[in-house]
Amino acid sequence: MKWTSRTATLLVCLAGLLFSAGALAVPNPFKSYQPDVVVSDPYIEMRTGPGRGYPVFYVAGQGDRVTLLKRKTDWFKLRLPRGSFDTKEGWVHVSQLEHTLDLDGNPLIVPKTGMEAFTARRWEFGIGGGAIDGAATINGSLAFNLNPYVGVQGEAAQILGDYSDGYMGSISVFMRPFPHSRISPFFNIGTGYIHIQPQTTIVQAEDLNDEIVHAGFGADLYVSRKFMLRMEYRRHTVLTSRDDNEELNQWKAGFSIFF
């Protein structure tokens, strides 16, 4: 008798394994990942929408098995079965899910985005504004960090002055001596290209296309989640076709999302 029940259990588990392996081998791209979890807090509040302003319309109690459907910022949409046919769907803040368990009783691990993620960030996408010798600039950048200390950044800027406008593109190498600090200073050097054209109301002026090299410094400030602010100063040397090179000072401020 003992053997029979054990063999049966074994067979069921093997079948389960095979079935799940089969399911893993051929993932359905149209079916999104919606895991089931068990509520471990005394209760969790379900809201009608993903935000603090939406009313609580239902509570899921301890031991209830719920399905995580999707996520918007820090809010999860979950489905709670009520009886055989009825279900309730509502939004729950991530802080309430931190005490919830997976089906094996392990606490749900919600990946932290914090100082650790800030230090170990790989990709950065940034936008901002600034000024270069009195003209306004709007810039967008994409950076890849090789490690917490060194990164490479590509950047494009539009220059909008009273008398002329233009574009600037550059590639820089970033060095961060203190990547573990919330306010993380950096230095950079790089090279690029600048194009300046005079406004149509100005007469007798010509377009300029020149190579530029720059050196700069600044600091990143980690704000929250995947979000940081950046202040930066750069000194550009324009390698003009004339006898003298030209110096340009640029100030920038902006924000970045990192991944």
Number of Cβ within a 10 Å radius of residue 184: 20
Residue choice 44, 46, 66, 68 for contact with another protein (CB under 8 A) = 68
Residue choice 52, 204, 243, 244 for contact with another protein (CB under 8 A) = 52
Beta bridge partners of 136: 131, 160
CB-based contact 166:198 (threshold 8 Å): no
Number of Cβ within a 10 Å radius of residue 26: 6
Stretch near another protein under the rule CB under 8 A, chosen from 32-40, 170-178, 211-219, 233-241: 32-40
Stretch near another protein under the rule CB under 8 A, chosen from 12-20, 143-151, 180-188, 209-217: 12-20
The beta strand positions in the chain, using DSSP E, are 36-38, 43-47, 56-61, 65-72, 75-82, 86-93, 101-102, 123-132, 135-145, 150-160, 164-175, 183-198, 208-224, 227-239, 246-258
Residue choice 43, 146, 147, 162 for contact with another protein (CB under 8 A) = 162
Residue choice 40, 41, 45, 48 for contact with another protein (CB under 8 A) = 48
Select from 205, 225, 220 the least CA-distant residue to 252. Answer: 220
> Is residue 104 at the binding interface for another protein, with CB under 8 A as the rule?
yes
Q: Which helix (H) or strand (E) holds 6?
A: helix 2-25
Select from 206, 207, 209, 175 the least CA-distant residue to 190. Answer: 175
Closest distance between another protein and the C-beta of residue 186, in Å?
Answer: 22
Select from 137, 125, 64, 121 the least CA-distant residue to 97. Answer: 64
Closest distance between another protein and the C-beta of residue 104, in Å?
Answer: 4
Closest distance between another protein and the C-beta of residue 53, in Å?
Answer: 4
Closest distance between another protein and the C-beta of residue 158, in Å?
Answer: 6
Residue choice 22, 83, 111, 134 for contact with another protein (CB under 8 A) = 111
> Is residue 54 at the binding interface for another protein, with CB under 8 A as the rule?
yes
Residues that bind another protein (CB under 8 A): 3, 6-7, 9-10, 13-14, 16-17, 20, 24, 32-35, 37, 48-55, 68-77, 102-104, 106, 108-111, 127, 129, 136, 138, 140, 158, 160, 162, 165, 199-201, 224-227, 255, 257
